[in-house]
Structure 1
Amino acid sequence: MPYYWRLSGFYFFYFGLLGTLVPYWSLYLRDLGFNPAAIGTLMAIPQLTKIGAPNLWGWLADRSGQRLRIIRLGNFTAALVFLPVFWIDAFWSMAALLVAFSFFWNAVLAQFEVLTLQTLGRHAHRYSHVRLWGSVGFIAAVLVLGELLDRMSTSLLPWVLSAILWLLWLGTLTLPAGQATGHGTQKSAASPLWPLLKRPQVALFLLAAFLMQLSHGPYYTFYSIYLQDLGFSKFTVGCLWALGVLAEVGLFVVMHRLLQRYSMPAILIASLLLAALRWAVIGMVGDSLWWLAAAQLLHAATFGSFHAASIAWVQRQFGSALAGQGQALYSSLGYGAGWAAGAWLSGKYWHIFGAQLFYAAALAALLAALIMIAGRLNHAS
């Protein structure tokens, strides 16, 4: 596979940053003195900007053909605007920083997914082998930081995040440009987005993706706080996060075989049903380390197989001319609107319901599975 290690290295550092941000940022915000509602809102902001930002960057990339330049620009500017974080401890200042940072940061991943698939070319079915290095980066980050944060304060986090951002930008300077799909005005005119969105199977998939990420709201926002309040150390919290991503790595290793054996809708539906089971288990037996570990193994489905199948499904449905906009739309509705809504609702109701919110998350995932089944039946008919 061409450029395997350059592409894999980018995923390693990108998801290494997420392994620093997602499990521990809520702990950092709590140590700054923010209450659950403020934490939920601040955790929602980076996802909220995904509603518009990836679509803007995706449209620009498809129209200009300068996908790699956009990835580099987004990464550099995100690293630059993140620097004032060291001096911020007030809500509105933190909110403004997260809006600016995430607007540019959200230019990166959806376009890099397209760049990866274009670079792999006829080896595109090996995407999961490249992407698994992102999972390795996530695991390394949560384990190392979990150990460090048991010995040091969470004030270490901004330093680690800033360092990874600059390393990631340096990595973008080594990336290939991918295969050009042509400049955009003619391509866009020939391949308008709206007719695709009117297809029932496309609309229902996007709704299911929204609900899937909404169901992750309590997990991504309060899982670490929940475990720490139950008496688990930060290292144990990190190990549980790492276990989930380790299961995801195993899934990515065999994902190309699953895609050859089963249809994409079947994989998506199975992933959603397993997500409902996972959230229900966390809500019921959160004080049992063994049950928590078992639930984390289901991350292989709730993120791994769902994401890999979604990337492949979107690429097939939207084609090369609209690939950037298709991946950006999936990212903005799922990881943007869905995750933001889940984080905000979790922050609003955590002090009332606590871990019982995981039952609501299970219902959201179950509803998404039913929607995907309806889309499959509609397509079959």
Structure 2
Amino acid sequence: MNQIKIRLSAMMFLQFFVWGSWFVTLGTFLGNNLGATGSQIGMAFSTQSWGAIIAPFVIGLIADRYFNAERILGILHVLGALLMYQMYVSADFTAFYPYVLAYMITYMPTLALVNSIAFRQMENPSEEFSKIRVWGTIGWIAAGLVISYLFSWDAPGAISSGLLKNTFIMSAASSLILGLFSFTLPATPPGIAKGEKLLLKDILGLDALRLLKDRNFAVFFFSSVLICIPLAFYYQNANPFLSEMGVANPTGKMTIGQVSEVGFMLLLPIFLSRYGIKKTLLFGMLAWVLRYLMFAFGNNEELVVMLLLGIALHGICYDFFFVSGQIYTDSKAGDKFKSSAQGMITLATYGVGMLVGFWVAGQITDFYALEAGHDWRGVWVVPAGFALMVFFAFMLTFRSEDIKYEK
């Protein structure tokens, strides 16, 4: 691995260590330490979506036009570290919410930026990207292991004594490190020449919308929006669900999903080559259905293996739909608007779809709330059924095609 790839791998590791340091346990923290309701927890998670909705405009206006992507990445992560500290010192949900909203507005554009920086350094992204992106997964795993097994911040006693909020300090420190490190990354200049005339659509970052004229990409785009509705249930409810079911070290056990993600990330180029983009995306969507059914009918006793298998399916769920979708989007975008295209797919997945999904998940969670805990079978059957409908709709409307890079 050459020096540039090592630096890109470190960038990915820190990018997802920052996120995994606090996001997995957010629902558990808010419910147990700030007394938040299911709807309020949904509001907190939906800040991710508002950030993702704004991200394409930030990327389209700035990264593709005026400033180097690595410099914007550094500034956003330094600012994010300051906001994360404010989340750490917040005493109630009312004080906490504005900071988590501001943080997500700064963080979500960085997902597209790290992809853009990585893609610009590659000659064959369909072969090279997964080997760099896998280090982001390793970063997420490391964060979960630190929380559960090094510090035990998610143990029942630690949660009740307020130690779980230390995850925000860990995230703030790692965000500051990444911010400073970003200024050493390979220069990634704007994709549009300075002298090129800018129209209103350019200023608003709407160039990537031209991709929707491609029927297949339009089907993929809207399927991405819809499949993220059930995805929101996992992000919002998985950690509280495992904690409530009595699973020991829930955050650490959730890293099983990321370990699986590492394996399937490395297998992704083989699947794309052998089965094509359509079947790869379908494998990913079907895995969401199976995962939620395992959560619905498993338990922490004789059927605990179903819970663990449901977590382990994360590798297929995430890699085969979201990472392959990023590669597919990059192949459609051409050289000129790679950052805008990545920002637009971030809007589709983490933005609009999950904004609706977090709201629905909050409402469903409150609906199935009991005096002591929740009727989790009822909660999980809803996203399983929805994911199945998206699976069939995509299968019938998306035409098989090979990934070919357009210039």
Matches of 1:238 and 1:18 in 2, distance apart?
Answer: 13
Does 1:267 find its partner at 2:280? yes
Worse-matched range after superposition: 103-112 or 361-370: 361-370
Confirm or deny: 8 A CA contact 1:72 1:169 kept in the other structure. Answer: yes
Does 1:257 find its partner at 2:250? no
Does 1:165 find its partner at 2:175? yes
| Aligned residue type for 1:336 | G
Confirm or deny: 8 A CA contact 2:256 2:311 kept in the other structure. Answer: yes
Does 1:214 find its partner at 2:229? yes
The alpha-carbon deviation at position 18 of structure 1 amounts to 2.2
> How do 1:326-345 and structure 2 match up within 5 A?
326-345=341-360
What SS class does the counterpart of residue 70 from structure 1 fall into? helix
Give aligned-pair identity as a percent. Answer: 21
The alpha-carbon deviation at position 314 of structure 1 amounts to 0.2
**Change in CA separation of 1:185 and 1:310 when aligned onto 2, cut-off 3 Å:** farther
Matches of 2:226 and 2:381 in 1, distance apart?
Answer: 14
What is the match of residue 216 of structure 2?
201
Matches of 2:392 and 2:194 in 1, distance apart?
Answer: 37
What is the match of residue 373 of structure 1?
395
Matches of 2:381 and 2:324 in 1, distance apart?
Answer: 25
Does 1:247 find its partner at 2:249? no
Matches of 2:6 and 2:207 in 1, distance apart?
Answer: 35
Confirm or deny: 8 A CA contact 1:11 1:131 kept in the other structure. Answer: yes
Does 1:21 find its partner at 2:22? yes
Does 1:55 find its partner at 2:57? yes
Greater helix fraction, Structure 1 or Structure 2: 1
TM-score after normalising by structure 1 = 0.92
The alpha-carbon deviation at position 343 of structure 1 amounts to 1.8
Superposed CA offset, 1:145-195 (max 9, x none): 013212742132221111111121122122111476342674877994343
Structure 1: stretches of 5+ with no match in the other structure: none
**Change in CA separation of 1:109 and 1:195 when aligned onto 2, cut-off 3 Å:** closer
| Aligned residue type for 1:26 | G
Superposed CA offset, 1:111-132 (max 9, x none): 2101101112346521111111
Matches of 2:401 and 2:125 in 1, distance apart?
Answer: 28
Matches of 1:316 and 1:188 in 2, distance apart?
Answer: 24
**Change in CA separation of 1:86 and 1:278 when aligned onto 2, cut-off 3 Å:** closer
The alpha-carbon deviation at position 225 of structure 1 amounts to 1.0
Matches of 2:354 and 2:173 in 1, distance apart?
Answer: 26
Does 1:277 find its partner at 2:299? no
The alpha-carbon deviation at position 242 of structure 1 amounts to 0.8
Matches of 1:122 and 1:230 in 2, distance apart?
Answer: 45
| Aligned residue type for 1:183 | A
Matches of 2:400 and 2:138 in 1, distance apart?
Answer: 38
**Change in CA separation of 1:296 and 1:359 when aligned onto 2, cut-off 3 Å:** same
Superposed CA offset, 1:37-81 (max 9, x none): 211211211222211233332332112252222212221222223
| Aligned residue type for 1:68 | E
Superposed CA offset, 1:72-129 (max 9, x none): 2221222223332233123332221112111111221102101101112346521111
What is the match of residue 102 of structure 2?
100
| Aligned residue type for 1:11 | M
RMSD: 2.3
What SS class does the counterpart of residue 106 from structure 1 fall into? helix
The alpha-carbon deviation at position 310 of structure 1 amounts to 0.5
**Change in CA separation of 1:119 and 1:178 when aligned onto 2, cut-off 3 Å:** farther
What is the match of residue 175 of structure 1?
185
Worse-matched range after superposition: 187-196 or 150-159: 187-196
| Aligned residue type for 2:313 | L
TM-score after normalising by structure 2 = 0.86
Superposed CA offset, 1:243-270 (max 9, x none): 1110000011222222222211220012
What is the match of residue 121 of structure 1?
123
Worse-matched range after superposition: 180-189 or 65-74: 180-189
* Equivalent residues, number: 378
* 1:64 equivalent among 60, 66, 80: 66
Confirm or deny: 8 A CA contact 1:64 1:184 kept in the other structure. Answer: yes
**Change in CA separation of 1:378 and 1:268 when aligned onto 2, cut-off 3 Å:** closer
Matches of 2:45 and 2:26 in 1, distance apart?
Answer: 8
| Aligned residue type for 1:274 | A
> How do 1:180-191 and structure 2 match up within 5 A?
181-183=191-193, 186=196
Does 1:302 find its partner at 2:322? no
Matches of 2:195 and 2:314 in 1, distance apart?
Answer: 40
